[in-house]
Chain A
Amino acid sequence: MDGFIQFFEDYQLLIYLLVFTIILGFEVISKVPTVLHTPLMSGANAISGVVVIGGILLVRQAEAGDYFSLGLGLFGIIMGMVNATGGFAVTDRMLEMFKKKKKKK
């Protein structure tokens, strides 16, 4: 229990951030209408490309000769970036179709 209390005290700000982000996420996303659920998902997909940040950090923190970290890190950056770019681009493509209709009407 002491360990837990210590952990809570040490990371209080992070825990606040975690809790409030969860609440905010549910609040914002539950307002998205059914029509837009697929773009929501692909947009969320793009956002989960934030792992690319971790990949960049990993590569930058590695030593120049550490090919294990560099190789895996490079792979991580590529995957994260595919996720982010592809996700945003395809979401834009979909939302454009929704928009076009509106003008025609």
Chain B
Amino acid sequence: MDIKFLTDVGFLLGSVGFVWGLKRLSSPDTARRGNMIASIGMGLAILSIIFAPLEQGDNNYAWVVAGLAVGAVIGYLMAIKVKMTAMPQMVSIFNGLGGACAVLIAMVELRHFYTGASAMSGGQVAISLTALFIGGIAFTGSMLAWFKLEDWLRDNALVLPRHSIFNMALLAVILVMGIYVFVLKIDAGIGLAAIFMLLALLYGVSFVVPIGGADMPVVISLLNSFSGLSAAAAGLIYGNNFMLVGGILVGASGTILTILMCEAMNRSLLNVLIGGFGGGGAASKGATGDQVVKEVTLNDAAIQLFYSKSVMIVPGYGLAVAQAQKVCKEIDDLLETNGVDVKYAIHPVAGRMPGHMNVLLAEADVPYPKLLDLEDANAALKSTDIVVVVGANDVVNPAALDDPGSPIYGMPVLQVWDAKNTIVLKRSMNPGYAGIQNPLFFMEKTHMLFGDAKATLSKLVSEIKNL
């Protein structure tokens, strides 16, 4: 059997590994094996490309092996060191690297074309330009998203006046220039292609700049899909089916998650991209004047929780920021000893990337059958005795259902007011990220427990122990 046949089969098996692995991700029980299968698929493909016979070139195996080794070590170290709260940052970095890699490949191949070192069909030039464009956005956009997630950059720093118009103009310039470079064919030269690349990189920054805060899950998903699509485009440059399949699968996954996140906030993608949600335009409306909130003492809260039948915990990102997942689990354990049924209601945008809160709670040893998604939680809330809201605000805002004037009107929320009682843990009465007042706090059945999430929960633990 010749080598070419073997390596081609290797690529085929690699693609099957991806699809099979992703399929197994559909249940937590089989997911780990699925990830393993996908990684074996990747390994097979890397072996195949190393041994595949080529028509040209000097192989340069020293460079290949050095690159693989360095990359593998760095990647592995990052993976074992990263904190689960920092997953969105890590995913952003990876999205960016994938995009940057596609940009490099496209740039080198275009240079070969313009210097006459190799031929390219019109289609290949168009695909290379596409890879530059999508990969460029994925690269700089993800880097900026990473900076924002690390809080190295304020959300609305760098926003220009009329930023959305600037973005559209920039996009138009890039498109026109892309067509121009394409039509000129070999006469365009590497210089014009480089300028095209720089514009794409600039667009990546400019497009993420106005987006922040609660919109981060959408951006990360979208950039994820871009990094996949740029990989697919790079695969098309080489006519490599395996890269195409892998890239498209990632593109599909990112797109699905983007759609889900947009639906979870009841906003169109365009609306998220143009921004304006946290941009100050949505000043808190309907000053609620002299409405008073009722507080509950720690002791009362502990008694209520301990002697109830069912408790639903609604964690928001505030819980993760306070690193309070473990304390939360402690309360859960204490209540379970008294036969209380404890569940968690997880809103799709509760973390800073899709599914983030589930991972954080899993890290704290909460079994996944206890984690309810939006629909299941809303069904269960009707028969819940006490809801404990920790560090969440907009996702439990009744205004989303009944106040058409509210900026979040129409967003699917957790209907915690259906439960018999609600305890809201909150640092102060400041409105949440979106700056929207929350009528839930003033409801008859709602009681407030002010203080830092972690400190309050710890005190609650000792109160319950003392009962």
Residues of A within 8 A of B (CB): 7, 11, 14, 17-18, 21-22, 24-26, 28-64, 68-70, 72-102, 104-105
B75 touches A48 (CB 8 A): no
Q: Provided the pairs A26-B256, A47-B18 are in contact, do residues A54 and B235 lie with their beta carbons within 8 angstroms?
A: yes
A43 touches B38 (CB 8 A): yes
| Interface of A: prevailing SS | helix
B75 touches A41 (CB 8 A): no
Q: Provided the pairs A47-B246, A68-B108 are in contact, do residues A85 and B76 lie with their beta carbons within 8 angstroms?
A: yes
CA distance A105 to B235 in the complex (A): 45
A54 touches B234 (CB 8 A): yes
Task: Digitize B271-310: 1 where CB-to-A-CB distance is under 8 Å, 0 elsewhere.
Answer: 0000000000000000000000000000000000000000
Least CB distance, B68 to chain A, in whole angstroms: 5
A21 touches B354 (CB 8 A): no
Binds A, one of B19-27, B143-151, B454-462: B19-27
A38 touches B104 (CB 8 A): no
When distances are taken between beta carbons in the complex, the residues of chain B under 8 Å from A74 are 63, 66-67
Task: Digitize B335-352: 1 where CB-to-A-CB distance is under 8 Å, 0 elsewhere.
Answer: 000000000001010010
Binds A, one of B87-95, B153-161, B175-183, B207-215: B87-95
CA distance A58 to B63 in the complex (A): 11
When distances are taken between beta carbons in the complex, the residues of chain A under 8 Å from B67 are 55-56, 59, 73-78, 81
How many inter-chain contacts with C-beta < 8 Å in the A-B complex? 360
A52 touches B249 (CB 8 A): no
A37 touches B19 (CB 8 A): no
Nearest-CB residue, chain B, relative to A82: B75
Q: Provided the pairs A25-B253, A49-B42 are in contact, do residues A95 and B32 lie with their beta carbons within 8 angstroms?
A: yes
CA distance A26 to B255 in the complex (A): 9
A51 touches B253 (CB 8 A): no
When distances are taken between beta carbons in the complex, the residues of chain A under 8 Å from B23 are 28, 31
**Chain A to chain B contacts (Cβ below 8 Å), 27 pairs:** A22-B248, A29-B256, A33-B26, A35-B373, A39-B25, A40-B253, A41-B253, A43-B35, A48-B247, A50-B247, A52-B46, A53-B45, A55-B67, A55-B101, A59-B67, A62-B57, A68-B111, A69-B111, A77-B63, A83-B71, A86-B74, A87-B94, A93-B79, A98-B362, A100-B365, A101-B367, A102-B28
A44 touches B35 (CB 8 A): no
A79 touches B71 (CB 8 A): yes
Least CB distance, B417 to chain A, in whole angstroms: 23
B373 touches A34 (CB 8 A): yes
